[in-house]
Chain A
Amino acid sequence: MAIDPRHVGRRYGPFRSTVCADRIRDFAVAVAGGVPGHFGATDGEPHPWSVDEEAAARSPYGALVAPPTFGVTFAMHPFALACTDPEIGIDLVRLLHAEQEFEYGAVVRPGDVLVTTGEVVEVRTKGALEFMTVRSETRNQSGAVVLVGRWTAVVRG
């Protein structure tokens, strides 16, 4: 079943998220090859400004900063909801994440209160493949944009 283009314009949110230092640290550690909750056990090297509060205190930001793709924790909800929206009716077994784009504004730090909204902005077909793109926009407690995401799913025929 093809994704109906009339779903373009469908909106999700707002979603509110409070950024937590431990969650930033666990995210950076897990991505670097370690076990969440066990800082110090990584194979890779998370950026010190995302895991080490003393190093971060000496950085230009003065506190931990989120790694660039930490946005998945607060900005993915509109995309996840669109993919599982019964009105849109995507078969999850045939669904894959196809493309991702992020544009960054202000850095994200512990204590930030973020609000994300999202909208289906494109539905297209390419051969047996169907694509759906959701645009998310996240602002912080000062009203500054911190992240704009374009999340594209592919449904395999």
Chain B
Amino acid sequence: MKTLREFCVGDTFESSRAADRYRPIYYAAVSGDFNPIHIDREVAQLAGFPDAILQGMCTMAWLADVCTGYFGDPGRVRRFRVRFSRPVVVGDTVTFRGRCVSVEGPVVRVEVEAVNQRGEEVLKGASAEASFQE
């Protein structure tokens, strides 16, 4: 388990996740978000997208997984914040690149960039904080 002094401003971490054809359906099953725009290509096309789009909350869950990997402990997380700036479409791969931007008292703060395979940002202003109060 990591301790507070193992976190340094400037630390980086990176990981990718794939929105395969079934991901929005599996995510619907475990989250309860069955909005047809996520599971029915025709409805998504009616809304102006090329294919079904992944639930924003699944992209956020990926972000949380990647940050939890860095923090080391899911129970230490105190805050997450994201703006969904571009839909993740079935077939996309999202790469998360995180950086530790501050360690103040017991609070470690990271900012994360999330881009698709074309380098387009799918999240903006993504950040997370964890507290390592002993």
Is B18 at the interface (CB under 8 A from chain A)?
Answer: yes
A-facing residues in B51-104 (Cβ within 8 Å): 55-58, 60-62, 64-65, 67-69, 73-75, 77-84, 87
Whether the Cβ atoms of B57 and A32 lie closer than 8 Å is: no
Number of A-B contacts (CB under 8 A): 118
Residues on the B chain within 8 Å of A97, using CB = 55-57, 84
| Residues of chain A within 8 A of B68, CB atoms compared | 47, 67-68
Complex CA distance for A32 and B18, rounded to whole angstroms: 10
- Residues from chain B with a CB closer than 8 A to the CB of A4 are none
| Size category of the binding interface on chain B | 35 or more
Q: Are B47 and A68 in contact (CB under 8 A)?
A: no
Alpha-carbon distance between A45 and B68 when the two chains are bound, in angstroms: 11
Q: Are B30 and A100 in contact (CB under 8 A)?
A: no
Measured CA separation A104–B68 after assembly (Å): 14
Least CB separation from B80: chain A residue? A102
Chain A residues with Cβ below 8 Å from B47 are: 93-94
A residues 9-67 near B (Cβ < 8 Å) are 23, 26-27, 30-33, 35-36, 43-47, 49-50, 60-61, 65-67
A113 at the interface (CB under 8 A from B): no
How far is B93's CA from A102's CA once the two chains are assembled, in angstroms? 24
Beta-carbon contact of B58 and A100 below 8 Å:
no
A144 at the interface (CB under 8 A from B): no
Judged by a CB distance under 8 angstroms, whether A72 is at the interface is: yes
| 5 closest residue pairs by CB, A with B | A97-B56, A68-B64, A107-B75, A30-B26, A31-B61
**A residues within 8 Å of B by Cβ?**
23, 26-27, 30-33, 35-36, 43-47, 49-50, 60-61, 65-69, 72-73, 76, 80, 92-94, 96-104, 107
Q: List 8 interface pairs A-B (beta carbons < 8 Å), by A numbering.
A: A31-B62, A36-B30, A60-B73, A61-B75, A65-B75, A100-B81, A101-B82, A102-B81
Extra 18 A-B pairs, beta carbons < 8 Å, given A43-B18, A47-B68, A100-B82: A27-B30, A27-B61, A31-B27, A60-B1, A66-B74, A68-B68, A69-B57, A72-B31, A76-B32, A92-B37, A93-B43, A94-B47, A99-B82, A99-B84, A100-B56, A102-B81, A104-B77, A107-B74
B residues touching A (Cβ–Cβ < 8 Å)? 1, 15, 17-18, 20, 22-23, 26-27, 29-33, 35, 37, 43, 46-47, 55-58, 60-62, 64-65, 67-69, 73-75, 77-84, 87
